[in-house]
Amino acid sequence: MFRKSLAATAALIGLAIAQPAAAQSMGQCAGRVFIDAIYQNGLGGNEFAYFYQIRNGGPTEAVAVVEFGGFGNDIRLNATRIEVRLAPFSTLAHQNFGRGINGNVTQQTVGTLYDGAPAGGAHIRVSNCRY
């Protein structure tokens, strides 16, 4: 009886060791994290600051990679890739991503991509979401 119990305990310990600790779930960003706005603000003369607004539409914290690309030489990006942490159902507004002389940076002129590869042109891409 003792040997059966000991064998059963050893088997359970082996299973517990073999199972990895619960990891953060990795998922697609589409339908969960949203770029709600892309806009510019005039700084005077021919100079503009560029902003975006990002939102977590889910009930748990989300961490996403935000990438900026295809803007050309008339826009100086603050960074081309950043990681953003979003509380549940929260919005980060007025996130500055660069400055420049392009007076036509809007949601209509900048592509918004979720998870997929950029196809060219000015874009903001959200990918690698963790919840």
pLDDT above 70 for 50: yes
Q: What is the pTM of this model?
A: 0.78
> Are residues 96 and 78 in contact, defined by beta-carbon separation less than 8 angstroms?
yes
The predicted pLDDT at position 27 comes to 72
What are the DSSP E strand ranges found in the chain? 26-27, 33-44, 47-56, 62-69, 75-77, 81-86, 91-100, 111-114, 123-130
pLDDT above 60 for 35: yes
Tell me the percentage of the chain whose pLDDT exceeds 90. 76
Secondary-structure class of domain 26-130 per CATH: mainly beta
pLDDT above 60 for 21: no
Q: Two tokens at 13?
A: 């310990």
Instruction: List the domain boundaries for the chain.
Output: 26-130
CA dist 28 and 67 (Å) reads 15
Which whole-number Å values give the CA distances from 52 to 6, 16, 25, 27, 110, in the listed order? 60, 45, 26, 22, 11
- Give me the DSSP letters along 61-77: -EEEEEEEE---TTEEE
The predicted pLDDT at position 119 comes to 79
